[in-house]
Chains A and B, each alone.
Chain A
Amino acid sequence: AQRVTQPEKLLSVFKGAPVELKCNYSYSGSPELFWYVQYSRQRLQLLLRHISRESIKGFTADLNKGETSFHLKKPFAQEEDSAMYYCARNPGYSSASKIIFGSGTRLSIRP
């Protein structure tokens, strides 16, 4: 079965410290990987996609096919980064594909 694993339910770091949110996926074909973010009392929104290779709000994520990982990183955490982060994947081969979300990691930035 296709899976997305986020091993940490909660990650707490100090402001200014580096952040790494882990995500591993089960390998199948050529998946597309995403990170979604949900700030307090707001809707879920796309943060970034692996194919875009972009940096959003200082966050980057590199797809490592060898390790089947797509960890989200930021060198210096800010208080406004506190949110729930979900890693997600699409199998990438069909319009009927269903996106699969990880269980989420709550990131808490301490002042």
Chain B
Amino acid sequence: DSGVTQTPKHLITATGQRVTLRCSPRSGDLSVYWYQQSLDQGLQFLIQYYNGEERAKGNILERFSAQQFPDLHSELNLSSLELGDSALYFCASSVDWKTQYFGPGTRLLVL
């Protein structure tokens, strides 16, 4: 167990809907990273937050947004969902940006 938690574990929703995924980093880790893992795209970096501020952006769609709160937990908001958004969404945290500790992921299914 890496200490990173994610909720919910599974999420089933319909196209056009909006969902929020939550991540709690390891105690003491200031950085939170979000990744999308799909069968055809592999592991894709979405966005990084450091102590509440956005630090790096990857292949994140405009329909997606994230934030990190003062208690350092983070939320990833996915809106106007499409079938292709079905994937496993991972959160990771790190203290020194070098080694990342991953959460168990949230499996999103868009029907």
Q: Which 6 A-B pairs have the closest CB atoms?
A: A103-B42, A98-B56, A44-B102, A101-B43, A96-B55, A43-B102
Select from chain B the residue with minimum beta-carbon distance to A9.
B42
Question: Taking the nearest CB of chain A, how far is it from the CB of B52, in angstroms?
Answer: 14
Select from chain A the residue with minimum beta-carbon distance to B50.
A95
Task: Say whether A96 contacts B56, CB under 8 Å.
Answer: yes
CA distance A95 to B33 in the complex (A): 13
Bitwise interface map of A from 26 to 46 toward B, beta carbon under 8 Å scored 1, else 0: 000000101010000011111
What residues of chain A lie closer than 8 Å to B48, measured between beta carbons? 96, 98
CA distance A36 to B50 in the complex (A): 22
Select from chain A the residue with minimum beta-carbon distance to B97.
A95
Question: Taking the nearest CB of chain A, how far is it from the CB of B57, in angstroms?
Answer: 8
Bitwise interface map of A from 77 to 111 toward B, beta carbon under 8 Å scored 1, else 0: 00000000010001000011111111110000000
Select from chain A the residue with minimum beta-carbon distance to B1.
A43
Task: Say whether A43 contacts B98, CB under 8 Å.
Answer: no
B-binding residues in A (CB < 8 A): 32, 34, 36, 42-46, 49, 86, 90, 95-104
B100 within 8 A of A: yes
Question: Taking the nearest CB of chain A, how far is it from the CB of B14, in angstroms?
Answer: 26
B25 within 8 A of A: no
Question: Taking the nearest CB of chain A, how far is it from the CB of B84, in angstroms?
Answer: 17
Are A101 and B2 also in contact (CB < 8 A) when A95-B50, A96-B50 are?
A: no
Task: Say whether A43 contacts B105, CB under 8 Å.
Answer: yes
B89 within 8 A of A: no
Task: Say whether B43 contacts A97, CB under 8 Å.
Answer: no
Task: Say whether A49 contacts B45, CB under 8 Å.
Answer: no
Task: Say whether A99 contacts B100, CB under 8 Å.
Answer: yes
Contact of A104 among B42, B45, B104 (CB under 8 A): B42
